[in-house]
Structure 1
Amino acid sequence: MPAPFNYSIIGGRISVRAVAANIVCVSIAPDGHALAESLFVLPQADAREANVDAAGLRTAALRIARVGGGLQFADAGGAVFLTQAASSWSPADEALQVVQHFRADPAHALYGLGQYPGGAWDWRGREVLLAQSNQGVAVPCLVSTAGYGILWDSMALTRFASKGQGFRFETDCADGIRYYVVWGPDFDRIVAGFRQLTGAAPLFPRWAYGFWQSKERYVDRAELLDTACRFRELGFPIDALIQDWKYWGDKPWSCMEWDDKVFPDPEGMIRELHEPHHLRLMTTLWPVVGEGCALFEELKAAGELFEYPHWAQGHIYDAFSERGRAIYWKHVQRGLIDKGVDALWMDGTEPEFVSTHDPMDGVRACYAQRDTALGSWRRVLNGYSMFTARGVYEGQRTLNNGKRVFTLSRSGFAGQQRYAAASWSGDIAATWNVLREQVAAGLNFAAAGMPYWTTDIGGFFTTGLGARFPDGNRDPAYRELYVRWFQYGAFCPLFRSHGTNTAREPWHFGEPGSWAYDALLAAAQLRYRLLPYIYSLAWDVTSQGGTIMRPLAMDFRDDPVTYGIADQFMFGPAIMVCPVLAPMFHEPRREAEIVAADFLRTPAGEPGLIWRGYADEASDDAVFAKPVGELNGSWAGGPPPGLPFAGYRLRWDAELTVRDSGDYEFLLYGNDGRRMWFDDEPVIDAWQAQGMQTTTLRRTLAAGTKIRLRVEHLHRHGAAQMSLSWRRPGHAPKSELVPAERRVYLPAGCDWYDFHSGERHTGGQTLTVPTPISHIPLFVRAGSVLPLGPVVTQSDAQRGAPIELLVYPGADAAFALYEDDGDGYAYERGAYTTRAIRWSDATRTLSIHTPHQGLQGPSATIGVRLAGRLHTETLPLDANGAGAVTLR
């Protein structure tokens, strides 16, 4: 093996070694410090073909030379694409704070670094804090349209900043600097390099690429099974239901046990989901474990719990500890996997010591804990999610139960993909602006090398955090937003509906035949028709380090117009997706607002309400009584002062004065028990256990009316939230509708086909396209072969079904069609079939050969059709899986 390229700088030493022809590792060790092994980059052997001399290091793809105290990176032809500039370090609390500056051409866009709220796309001229939060996922991988990527090797809190001709990484806790430069120049090769460094992504079960329905939450066994029945009765395509929290009933939080009262016989329930409904079940679990359960006691006895109390009346376990992971997994297996649960949804994996959307709140909470099994939180801050995913992955892989591991995690990190874990974008609000931001967030996550991502279709909150749809699925304006989000979700790598406040099952948006229901059905059916294409892309992710959701610059790097486009993307190599991101048909209703103190008076005549807290449901002795300005509270981080974690009651009293005559809508939002009285008359009575809901009360009132208002809340378990808002007469809307069309840029270098009309267009131009509510604008690149399956209601039904190859002429095309058993790990032993499909545009011939045929069972019938034609030709294959057909 060649020796690394080493040289001394003031106060330290630089070492450069090649781990592949296109990947180099740069380490900078300050005097007196030695760099420890990476906590997430896999061990990498030195590349054999590297040459090192006094001038620098050379491979077949790269030239690295010393420039002053830094380095210059060039391609094989000598063209410089990146310069390592000043490196610096200074003492920090426990180690060093390090800063690495780079110089690069400012004309090139910078993507990646994970997923963040706010809509940031190109990181040029921007700063971002790499820290985990409810809506943020830190992934220290950066990609440039100049053709290179950088993996910053640190789990610690890191700040990225770009300005002018340079950018920098700054990390709070390190022994030195280590980063990897990956040369493409194609983005696919860069991402494949990230996967070489951090691990390949195993293949999910085929059903995971279908549709999954979730909400916060199914309250009992009957509701879950009734939902399964309704989906199958309607014939709406679906593969999985998700059971959110509280399946453990009144037992401690996330104890990995089912409550016999609300979910009796979980094994029988799951068998019924499996057969006859052909549905899988995913269940939620948290790293926080409630006090008093067997899992808590075992972790406590082993010293594997952090000391900071959680709002769920429990403590978070140390996932950095091998022993802690083993104990946690033992109870996951016993309580969930052995009962038949098919997949795990790991919530709050930042980890969520406090419920907050401010990343620094979470950082400070982590720093307040004892050290982890791997040392200080300052060193391992961003890696918790990866280690807890590792525990459940390694545990499940020992079972050999015929199921592939599939985990959904609210957080993520580079390397987490090797543990079969996907991420989603957290508890987001249902607004059009947030929907627009999701597109950029998902694309940057993909550009950072993370293959699987999804979003809460429809937004998690329909009220609060800027969301103003208290009527939820009854509101035509929300139905329009939900339809557009659902259409976008059908072209995310994973396709999942979830949220609180309002039911998310499709029939709640209208009966079959209504505009909203039919649009949802069409999007789901298209997703299932595309499953042969999607599943083949998933194999490319696993086998080649591929990417499903792709920024336009990933495929059209030579077209600078694409650099700034974050509202269109490629879905695989063929389909360009152009989601509709603005309302066009239904104007949002006038905004609801929290009832302000100006309209309320306490018994003492002061503005606002009197708020009282009681330790239990029956008590008349208030633990506290104090004035508040409005009824708008959230107790996710713990109960109000002086109250227990569960079982407490809250009460608000005031006199409400109505100033204008007309129709009023009162909206009481919260979870668990809620009651409201007007002048001692009960007007809302919803005292049962329930998830977050909005109850609407309508009254016609005269100006000057005074109402004795009383509201009560009974909190049973977990996080709590309560608010009282209203819509007053004359409170006008603040939005305007736009025409039912959108502008779409067609990247240069190829022609494009409108997927819906078949019309062909030249690339390099901007079109204005219609956007009926019935579909999402889609374009297919000329020189594509798109494999389609039949419309089915669940993914297994496509096994052995006819496949249609839809050919889009205009250039030569190639596609690798992949098939396997759909679950289990036989594919790792060669039990799969790949068919190499090629289209010759000159001869108008489509040919197939089968380079690997290890799948037992029936093969699908294959038909071939040209885009825009109705006639389909049958393509017979011989015993070797080869055949050809000419289309005229």
Structure 2
Amino acid sequence: MKRNLIFIVCCLLTTWVWAQEYQRTGTGIKASIPGKKIDVEVQWFNANSLRVLKMPHGQTIEKKSLSVIAEPENINLKVSTQGNGNIVMKSRSLTVKLDTQTGILTYETSNGASLLKELENVKAFTPVNDAGRVTYSVYQSFETDKGEGLYGLGQLQNGQMMQRGMEKYLVQGNIEDVTPIFQSTKGYGVFWDNYAGTMYVDNEQETSFRSDVGDCIDYYFMYGGSADGVIAQIRSLTGSVPMMPLWSYGFMQSKERYKSQDEVVGVVKKYRELGIPLDCIIQDWQYWGSNYLWNAMEFLNYEYRDPKRMIDEVHDLNAHMMISIWSSFGPKTKPFKALKEEGLLMDMATWPESGVEGWPPNFDYPSGVKVYDPYHPKARDIYWKYLNKGIFQLGMDGWWMDSTEPDHFNQRDSDFDRQTYLGSFRSVRNAFPLVTVGGVSDHQRALTRDKRVIILSRSGFLGQQRYGSNVWTGDVGSSWDMFRRQITAGLNFSLTGMPHWNTDLGGFFAGSYNNRLGNGTATKNPMFHELYVRWSQFGVFCPMMRSHGADAPREIFLYGKAGEPVYDALVDAVKLRYSLIPYIYSTSWEVSHRNSTFMRALFMDFLNDPKTWDIGSEYMFGSAFLVAPVLHAQYTPEQAQKLLKENEGWGCKAQESAPSLLSVDFTQPKEMEVYLPAGSQWYDFWTNEVVEGGRNLKVATVFNRIPLYVRAGSIVPLGTDVQYVGEKKWDNLRVCVYPGADGNFTLYEDEGDNYNYENGAYTEIPMAWNDAKRMLTIDARRGCYEGMLDKRKFTVRMPDGSEKTVAYKGEKINVKF
């Protein structure tokens, strides 16, 4: 009895000692792990998301996230200790256990299902010298199940759908945008909140992050139960997505570069003359003049002698205009001088390196261009001051923020040692796009609520979705291989929680298609024709549809005329985009209001079909469409091109020889294989033929269409022919219903280009299809805004061709078939 009593007392004493090693806080716990000489803090933000901080024992670190804007909360958290001293935290969704001997955290669902477990860190903190400051390289490894799918990390060009079995150094670049975040088919996500270069490793032993610099281990664990649930948690932490302008979902035309205001206006006039829809023209660089005036934020090039008139003429043609701005300034510009006076410029080799235009750079005449320090609030103020005065006040509609990595050549240690407002450039380099894009967005929103922010950015980092940012894949080469890589790049980028993404249609560097066979220009080369058409058809089903590139102009009217297959295919793609605008804009509302995603990896909607987990050649666009781009040349040989690095595409030589392609018949049908996920019936969008999912199909393809399927139960509103998105009101939409399952859709409308919707100025018209009753219910309109339609017609159409037109006055009606 005495021996048992002593044993019990010892056990209680041991438990009491370990219990003293942690303390409750208002938002979680703090604990010391004596054996590992580390301290751990867990902060809960809600029942599904928490932050983990680990640091060497006894160190106090105050670290404010650049990505996360939410604050931890005092939730209904139950904390207890087990007999071995381990600490157990339970929310209504999660059970999180901290091993007080090893510091290992384990994550489970509330019902005990295993999600993720840390591995014991041998080298969690490795001392490093960061520009004279003693700090650490930080590392955390996890044990993941070999059968689970992992996705995310940003926009990579590795062509992989799953981010497994790989090592990747995550650092911002021209064609790769990185965020150290992944999510799993188990329904959880991990965000490693560090802005230094970071090595991601996934192998048989571990899934891990190791950052070059960090004062502490800092990561967020988020549980959503599904990919959409994880994305909702990401946005609850890092910011929701504002509505983009309605016009920004129309077609945008650009090239490297328009050289005068007459050319800019002339392109818009030509589109209007030919009846090709267009909503935006984009001005690329050098409207400022010489490289010594780089990014002056003024029209100093004489060919732009009256920029206000140019913008007004574009507006008079019912189009909008975006313009290129950079993260660096030439030495003769006003912003350069103002920033230099405040010590807010960083001395590193950047684009352009020479003050003399042309390639390769002439280093006898260095440009003197320097990158600014966007981490400093005063620098962001100066940036906006000159942008507002020189361009925004002229009526410019949107910003094309180029080189938001920024361009950084030579990669010397001394460059990374340079101090920013928030520390060494080494420690914050990956967050450069986040803070520079945020600076423009915040300033414009503070100035006016009448014009929505729309920013096209070459790089992105988590949190950027809250700034009206649409990231594109940079200067990718024009090749089929690169085209294929864009699908997985866009899907994984979307899975990080940032939904607005796009590419240069046709690829940027098209120089290799300028061969003698093509009469000296890619616009005459059938090999480029096929690539450009297929890339443009993919662009229909991206959040932004924007044609741009170098080495060959991209205007549709230069690719033939009406009745010719290349011209017709390009025009058909643009017109299809415009017919989908009511669907796309309503999907945009789902993205903003309900945390949805435009481009959806197939596993997001068909998790129970494991075949979808690693498909990177197809995807869902919104809730209805399965998109299967044609990713291989069917009419011409594929021209190989190596994966270009940052500067390699400039000055590419035309091909000295090419295959003998005197003529190509684009009218002949071809075929390709498509997989339709199990668990649904699918309608061919073009023929309305219905097929069962869960199988591969050999499908016929033609030059002006790609395989496109609609999920049974979908409700798809289609608009009428227009030349720009606001040309006609949505007073007679066609509503296509696809039977086979119950379905819902909400038609969303607002004023289009202001923030009044944030104060409730919008309408929703819910629609529901009851498959058993074969009845579509168009419910009562919710909300109102100035200029809304009080009454309209809906033409409800079934796949068999039957249709009914009904008058709608905002009250509930049923349409029976």
Q: TM over 0.5, yes or no?
A: yes
Q: Could you tell me which amino acid in structure 2 is paired with residue 162 of structure 1?
A: D
Q: Give the number of the structure whose residues are more often strand, by fraction.
A: 1
Q: Could you tell me which amino acid in structure 2 is paired with residue 5 of structure 1?
A: I
Q: Is 2:554 the counterpart of 1:504?
A: yes
Report if the CA contact (8 A) 2:348-2:415 is conserved. Answer: no
Could you tell me which of 423, 440, 451 is aligned with 1:403?
451
Q: Is 2:317 the counterpart of 1:267?
A: no
Partner of 2:14: none
Report if the CA contact (8 A) 2:494-2:597 is conserved. Answer: yes
| Secondary structure of 1:20's aligned partner | coil
1:315-326 counterparts in 2 under 5 A?
315-326=370-381
Partner of 1:8: 32
Deviations 1:758-807 (A, max 9, x none): 01111111111111011011111111111111121101124343222211
Q: Is 2:274 the counterpart of 1:234?
A: yes
Whole-angstrom distance in 2 between the partners of 1:116 and 1:362? 20
Give 1:181 shift.
1.2
| Secondary structure of 1:93's aligned partner | strand
Q: Is 2:712 the counterpart of 1:789?
A: no
Whole-angstrom distance in 2 between the partners of 1:728 and 1:578? 29
Q: Is 2:614 the counterpart of 1:569?
A: no
Report if the CA contact (8 A) 1:429-1:464 is conserved. Answer: no
Report if the CA contact (8 A) 2:792-2:808 is conserved. Answer: no
| Secondary structure of 1:828's aligned partner | helix
Partner of 1:540: 590
Could you tell me which of 74, 81, 86 is aligned with 2:120?
86
| Secondary structure of 2:731's aligned partner | coil
| Secondary structure of 1:811's aligned partner | coil
Give 1:365 shift.
7.4
Report if the CA contact (8 A) 1:106-1:166 is conserved. Answer: no
Q: Could you tell me which amino acid in structure 2 is paired with residue 288 of structure 1?
A: S
Give 1:553 shift.
0.7
Give 1:34 shift.
3.1
| Secondary structure of 1:499's aligned partner | coil
Larger deviation, residues 424-433 vs 539-548: 539-548
Partner of 1:870: 801
Q: Is 2:510 the counterpart of 1:456?
A: no
Partner of 1:703: none
Report if the CA contact (8 A) 1:145-1:557 is conserved. Answer: yes
Whole-angstrom distance in 2 between the partners of 1:732 and 1:363? 49
> How many aligned positions are there?
754
Q: Give the number of the structure whose residues are more often helix, by fraction.
A: 2
Report if the CA contact (8 A) 1:478-1:588 is conserved. Answer: no
Label 1:79 to 1:216 Cα distance change in 2 as closer, same or farther (>3 A): same
Give 1:739 shift.
8.2
1:194-205 counterparts in 2 under 5 A?
194-205=234-245
Q: Could you tell me which amino acid in structure 2 is paired with residue 579 of structure 1?
A: P
Q: Is 2:570 the counterpart of 1:520?
A: yes
1:201-350 counterparts in 2 under 5 A?
201-250=241-290, 252-259=293-300, 261-275=302-316, 277-312=317-352, 313=367, 314-350=369-405
| Secondary structure of 2:734's aligned partner | strand
Q: Could you tell me which amino acid in structure 2 is paired with residue 222 of structure 1?
A: D
Partner of 1:77: 111
Label 1:204 to 1:210 Cα distance change in 2 as closer, same or farther (>3 A): same
Give 1:99 shift.
1.1
Larger deviation, residues 753-762 vs 63-72: 63-72
Q: Could you tell me which amino acid in structure 2 is paired with residue 507 of structure 1?
A: F
| Secondary structure of 1:92's aligned partner | strand
Deviations 1:583-605 (A, max 9, x none): 1123368x999xxxxxxxxxxxx
1:791-830 counterparts in 2 under 5 A?
791-830=721-760
Q: Is 2:69 the counterpart of 1:45?
A: no
Deviations 1:463-498 (A, max 9, x none): 259999863111011101100000001101111010
Give 1:363 shift.
7.8
Q: Could you tell me which amino acid in structure 1 is paired with residue 40 of structure 2?
A: I
Give 1:325 shift.
0.7
| Secondary structure of 1:796's aligned partner | coil
Could you tell me which of 603, 606, 621 is aligned with 1:556?
606
Partner of 1:641: none
Q: Could you tell me which amino acid in structure 1 is paired with residue 305 of structure 2?
A: P
Whole-angstrom distance in 1 between the partners of 2:747 and 2:411? 44
Calculate the TM-score normalised by the size of structure 2: 0.88
Could you tell me which of 87, 92, 95 is aligned with 1:60?
92
Whole-angstrom distance in 2 between the partners of 1:211 and 1:778? 20
Give 1:375 shift.
0.9
Whole-angstrom distance in 1 between the partners of 2:114 and 2:389? 56
| Secondary structure of 1:535's aligned partner | helix
Deviations 1:422-459 (A, max 9, x none): 11001011111100000010001001111100001001
Partner of 2:435: 387
Larger deviation, residues 263-272 vs 22-31: 22-31
| Secondary structure of 2:348's aligned partner | coil
5+ long unaligned stretches in structure 1: 355-360, 594-632, 638-691, 693-719
Name the Cα RMSD after superposition.
2.6
| Secondary structure of 2:572's aligned partner | helix
Give 1:46 shift.
1.5
Could you tell me which of 222, 227, 233 is aligned with 1:187?
227
Larger deviation, residues 42-51 vs 806-815: 42-51
Give 1:260 shift.
5.5
Whole-angstrom distance in 2 between the partners of 1:503 and 1:365? 40
Partner of 1:764: 694
Give 1:43 shift.
3.4
Larger deviation, residues 434-443 vs 863-872: 863-872
Give 1:348 shift.
0.6
Partner of 1:160: 200
| Secondary structure of 1:567's aligned partner | coil
Q: Could you tell me which amino acid in structure 2 is paired with residue 407 of structure 1?
A: I
Label 1:634 to 1:562 Cα distance change in 2 as closer, same or farther (>3 A): closer
1:373-384 counterparts in 2 under 5 A?
373-384=421-432
Whole-angstrom distance in 1 between the partners of 2:793 and 2:30? 57
Give 1:259 shift.
2.7
Q: Could you tell me which amino acid in structure 1 is paired with residue 736 of structure 2?
A: L
Whole-angstrom distance in 2 between the partners of 1:722 and 1:488? 26
Report if the CA contact (8 A) 1:5-1:56 is conserved. Answer: no
Report if the CA contact (8 A) 1:2-1:51 is conserved. Answer: no
Larger deviation, residues 743-752 vs 29-38: 29-38
Q: Is 2:633 the counterpart of 1:583?
A: yes
Could you tell me which of 181, 202, 219 is aligned with 1:141?
181
Whole-angstrom distance in 2 between the partners of 1:727 and 1:187? 48
Whole-angstrom distance in 2 between the partners of 1:374 and 1:271? 41
Report if the CA contact (8 A) 1:240-1:279 is conserved. Answer: yes
Report if the CA contact (8 A) 2:734-2:797 is conserved. Answer: no
Report if the CA contact (8 A) 2:624-2:710 is conserved. Answer: yes
Q: Could you tell me which amino acid in structure 2 is paired with residue 83 of structure 1?
A: K
| Secondary structure of 2:44's aligned partner | strand
Label 1:730 to 1:540 Cα distance change in 2 as closer, same or farther (>3 A): closer
Calculate the TM-score normalised by the size of structure 1: 0.81
Whole-angstrom distance in 1 between the partners of 2:321 and 2:793? 32
5+ long unaligned stretches in structure 2: 1-24, 82-86, 353-366
Report if the CA contact (8 A) 1:833-1:850 is conserved. Answer: no
Q: Could you tell me which amino acid in structure 2 is paired with residue 242 of structure 1?
A: I
Deviations 1:573-618 (A, max 9, x none): 11000000011123368x999xxxxxxxxxxxxxxxxxxxxxxxxx
Label 1:51 to 1:283 Cα distance change in 2 as closer, same or farther (>3 A): same
Label 1:424 to 1:466 Cα distance change in 2 as closer, same or farther (>3 A): farther
Give 1:509 shift.
1.3
Q: Could you tell me which amino acid in structure 2 is paired with residue 227 of structure 1?
A: V
